Amino acid sequence: MNKKIQFTLNGKSVSREAATHRLLLDLLRDEIGATGTKEGCGTGDCGACTVFLNGQPVNSCLVLSGELDGADVVTIEGLKIGPELHPIQKTFLQDGGAQCGYCTPGMLMMSKALLDENPNPTEDDIRYALSGNLCRCTGYAKIIQAVQDAAAILRAKSA
């Protein structure tokens, strides 16, 4: 069944006809062409497809298009602040948080969710927050480092 939906994607209004059972993930990737959000499992186990839905981090492979009418969606393509990289993007660059890069968009979105909620996370806080985001390349150490460094930058800014 198709349904007309209107939602906000990275600050811009999107309106389209979509099958209600179409996953947000597939809608983004195959229909809208926003392939920054990655598909790693399609079953909510790996976190690669993490996006913000109404301000909350979700696995976009577990969200149906039918639920999207009126929603606010932010993806990796909307993480920059204007032309500037978000601090978490900067520290991923600097610390080597990305290798193959496939888990990276999801990692960044989940890291931002953590930092939005907790500007001063401990290492354990970071490990727990990212425990649903799988990475096969880095061994996580550099990712944890990048989140710590981004937290420091954000704290310095708000001080």
Partner 1 sequence: MAELTVVGKPVQRVDAEEKITGQAVYGYDLVLPNMLYGKTLFSTKAHAKIKRINTDKAKQLPGVVAVVTGEAVPWTHGESVKDKPFLAQGKVRFIGEPVAAVAAEDEDIAQAAVKLIEVDYEDLPVYTDPEEACKPGCIEIHEGFAKYRKAEFVVQGAMPNVAEHFKLRTGNVEQGFQESDLVLEERYFVPIIQHAAMEPHSAHAQFDKESGRLTIWVANDAPFRALHEITEALGMPKEKIRFINPLQGGGFGSKGGLKVEPIAVALAFHTNGRPVRVKFNREETFISTLTRHEAVVYSKSGVKKDGTLMAREMTIYWGAGAYAEKSPTVCIRGSLPAPGPYRIPHVKVDGYAVYTNKPVAGSYRGYGIPQGAWAGEQQMDEIAKRLGMDPVDIRMKNIFVEGDTSYWGEQLHAVGLKETLVKATEAIDWGKKPSNVRPGVKIGKGFACIQKPTRSPTTSAAGVVVNAKGEVTVLAGTVEIGQGCNTILSQVAAEELKVPMEKVHMHQLDTDVIPFDASTTSSRSTYHMGNAVRRASIHAREQIMEAASPMLEAGVKDLDYADGKVFLKDQPQQALPIGEVVRRKLGINGEVRGDGSYTYEIGKDLDIETGHSDHASAFYMYATQAAEVAVDEDSGRVRVLRMSAAHDVGKAINPLNCVAQIEGGVVMGIGSALHEEMVIDKSGKVRNPSFLDYHLATSLDIPELISIVVECAEPEGPYGAKGLGEPGLAPTPAAIGNAVADATGVRVYDLPLKPENVYWAIQNKKKKTAA
Please give the full DSSP string across 24-77, using - where no structure is assigned: HHHIIIIII--TTSPPS-SSSSS-TTEEEETTEEEEGGG-BGGG-TT-EEE-GG
Residue of 7, 92, 121, 149 that binds partner 1 (CB under 8 A): 92
Task: Convert 29-50 to b/e letters by CB count within 10 Å (16 or more is b).
Answer: beebebebbbbbeeeeebbbbb
Residue of 16, 36, 72, 153 that binds partner 1 (CB under 8 A): 36
Residue of 6, 45, 54, 69 that binds partner 1 (CB under 8 A): 45
Residues 93-152 that bind partner 1 (CB under 8 A): 93-94, 96-105, 108, 126-128, 130-144
Q: How far is the CB of 16 from partner 1 (least distance, A)?
A: 15
User: Degrees (nearest 5) of the Cα angle 14, 108, 20?
Assistant: 35
Residue of 89, 121, 149, 150 that binds partner 1 (CB under 8 A): 89
CB 21 within 8 Å of CB 64: yes
Q: How far is the CB of 87 from partner 1 (least distance, A)?
A: 11
Cβ-count burial of 150 within 10 angstroms (0-12 exposed, 13-18 middle, 19+ buried)? Answer: buried
Q: How far is the CB of 76 from partner 1 (least distance, A)?
A: 4
Q: Which residues bind partner 1 (CB under 8 A)?
A: 19, 26, 29-30, 33-43, 45-46, 48, 75-77, 79-80, 85, 89, 92-94, 96-105, 108, 126-128, 130-144
